[in-house]
Chain A
Amino acid sequence: MIDVIRDAISQIRGLITPPRYLSWQTLLLLSLFSWLMATLAEVGGATPFTVTVLSTGSWLFLTVAIWWGLSLNPVMIGDISISPWITAAVICVFVFNPWTTERMQLAMGFWPVIATLLVAIPHFFHWNFDWTLPPASVRQDLIVLLLVNLLLSSWILFYFRVQHWFNDYPSLIAENLDNSAFVYRFGADTNNASQADLLLSSAATSLAQQLNDTPWPRVERWLLNLDNSIDSVADNIVLNAAKERVFWSLDAPRPQSLSNGYQLRLRANWLGPTAKQNGYYAEKVCTILPRTLQPRGSAEGQPEQPEQPAPTPVAQVTCSEETTEVERSA
């Protein structure tokens, strides 16, 4: 066991011990040293400037060491060396360091182009940094290489654009993507539901706010003028993704009369892109019932005073918890 560890250690030592002064291992050690110094400086409370300089130096040494080391020992997949992409990835991690979403997308987009530059630059310079034009065949290969890597960049950027759509219009994730000629979903269809439930819950809250505790005659007038009333409900809807609002329209069919109140179906119509042939809508059922307020001062058990007029009933809205999605028929 100990022999195995000792062997491994001696192998690693053999790998990172510089064979000459000028070698990638030297740079790797310099990078480690610089990183160690940066850590020490940070612990020791040096100025942020010193820490930045030291850690930047560490990154630079590491990048060049990896570039150098990989160009001596290329990582091959088939006949293609993927070393430039590895080095470019290290550079991208370094250059786009605070990893916010936009910077990460930029980094991924630039990655193949930086890899191309890494391949191209050695062809344009002598060892003593003299500018030189590579031979025609090399120039032609470099042009094709650049274009291939730009194509890779566009694919990566297209991937992010599709993600952007899902972010703007989250109901799209719930759809079936099998028909697409562009994208493929890995893994089973997720259990993501469309935003219909959220939208209808928000509409139900708004409805309850408008109608709860309003006198019953006014509620009946509200229901008579349903088209305008629904618009006022729709104005108060709050969605997670504000942009998706354009793809939803809220309406309600004529309310059904119950024995004493009404049943109203809030219906959210999806107007946006969908895999379903004729689109779909989602519904939530709300019941609006009259409720008689106890007149003030009368406690339970006491007989009602006959001289007081019957109080006006007010409305009470209760909406079902679940939302049903219905696919339209032709």
Chain B
Amino acid sequence: MGELEPVFPFRAVLFQILFLLVAIALEAMVLRQKLRLGYQQSVQYATAINLLAVVVGWFTFLAVEPLVDPRLQAQVISYVLFDNLLNNTLKPQMGWIILVTGLIAFFMTLILKLKGLELIMRAIGTWDVPAQPKELTRTQRYARSRTGTTQYQQAASQFAIAVLQANALSFSAILLLLVVRAYILGGVT
């Protein structure tokens, strides 16, 4: 590599910090309400899972970017450096590609946040969602046949729904910010 250009990704850093703050605030709110956590604790959990998501996202991008189709790579460069899409043969499909990438990103972050939050809570020792034992007691089996679920399944699904809602809320907020930046402040053409 030749000389280094004085071009730094400071705008990316600023936007990332802004989006992280928005996501952490919203997710902490949801986690606090749904999981009945303390205020400080929910902010810390939200910080940890969002940082985990962006770190995995960055490393995935850095690993995948050199491997994709050169036309797509050119589109990525065009978007990163010039905030527009390149008029090449891939342009008609870009809408689909962005949509599918966004969907994959949403579900991958959801899985990451679910597993990540569980691991973090286990590491700290605050994981209190009980695992379903092999053998249910008599009263538990009775309750299951009556309500259709067990208390363990309910606890697990409550946890998952809380993380899903948190993730959906933060994705929507960031998408809204991106749309505002692109169409109202004038940007993507």
What residues of chain A have their CB less than 8 Å away from a CB belonging to chain B? Answer: 101, 136, 139-140, 143-144, 147-148, 150-151, 154-155, 157-159, 161-167, 169, 172-173, 175, 177, 179-187, 190, 246-247, 271-275, 277-279
Contact = CB atoms under 8 A, between A and B. Distances in A.
A307 to B, nearest CB: 63
B55 interface: yes
B7 A183 contact: yes
Contacts of B62: 154, 157-158, 161
Interface string B111-131: 000000000100111100000
Nearest to B125: A136
Contact of A154 (B5, B47, B58, B83): B58
Listed residue (A150, A173, A175) with the most chain B CB atoms within 10 angstroms of its CB:
A150
Contacts of B78: 272-274
Interface string B3-36: 0111111111101100000000000000000000
Give chain A's interface secondary structure class.
helix
A140 B121 CA distance: 9
A245 to B, nearest CB: 12
A116 B59 CA distance: 18
Interface string B65-88: 100001000110110111110111
Contacts of B70: 246
A159 B9 contact: yes
B54 interface: yes
A42 B120 CA distance: 52
B157 to A, nearest CB: 25
Contact of A273 (B7, B74, B189): B74
Contacts of B100: none
A165 B77 contact: yes
A161 B59 CA distance: 12
A279 B65 CA distance: 24
Given A157-B62, A158-B58, A167-B2, 20 more contacts: A144-B47, A150-B51, A151-B54, A157-B58, A162-B7, A163-B1, A166-B7, A167-B1, A173-B5, A179-B187, A180-B83, A181-B187, A182-B15, A182-B81, A183-B9, A273-B81, A274-B82, A274-B86, A275-B81, A275-B84
B12 to A, nearest CB: 4
Interface residues of B, number: 46
List 10 A-B pairs, minimum CB-CB distance, nearest first.
Answer: A154-B58, A273-B78, A147-B51, A182-B12, A186-B6, A179-B83, A150-B55, A275-B82, A136-B124, A101-B1
Contact of B12 (A140, A157, A179, A183): A183
Contacts of B55: 147, 150-151, 154
A179 B79 CA distance: 10
Contacts of A151: 16, 51, 54-55, 58
B120 A177 contact: no
B1 A164 contact: yes
Nearest to B12: A182
A166 B8 CA distance: 12
A155 B13 contact: yes
Listed residue (B65, B70, B84, B181) with the most chain A CB atoms within 10 angstroms of its CB:
B84
B58 A183 contact: no
B1 A147 contact: no
A148 to B, nearest CB: 6
Contact of B7 (A147, A184, A272): A184
26 contacts: A136-B126, A139-B123, A140-B44, A140-B123, A143-B48, A150-B51, A151-B51, A155-B13, A155-B16, A159-B8, A163-B7, A164-B1, A165-B81, A181-B181, A182-B80, A183-B10, A183-B81, A184-B11, A185-B7, A187-B6, A246-B70, A274-B78, A275-B84, A277-B189, A278-B87, A279-B87
A50 to B, nearest CB: 35
B74 A272 contact: yes
B86 A272 contact: yes
Contacts of A181: 11-12, 15, 83, 181, 187
B120 to A, nearest CB: 6
Contacts of A172: 77, 81
Nearest to B2: A167
B48 A140 contact: yes
Contacts of B161: none
B86 A185 contact: no
A155 B187 CA distance: 23
B155 interface: no
A27 B164 CA distance: 53
B48 A147 contact: yes
Contact of A163 (B5, B48, B54, B65): B5
Contacts of A150: 51, 55
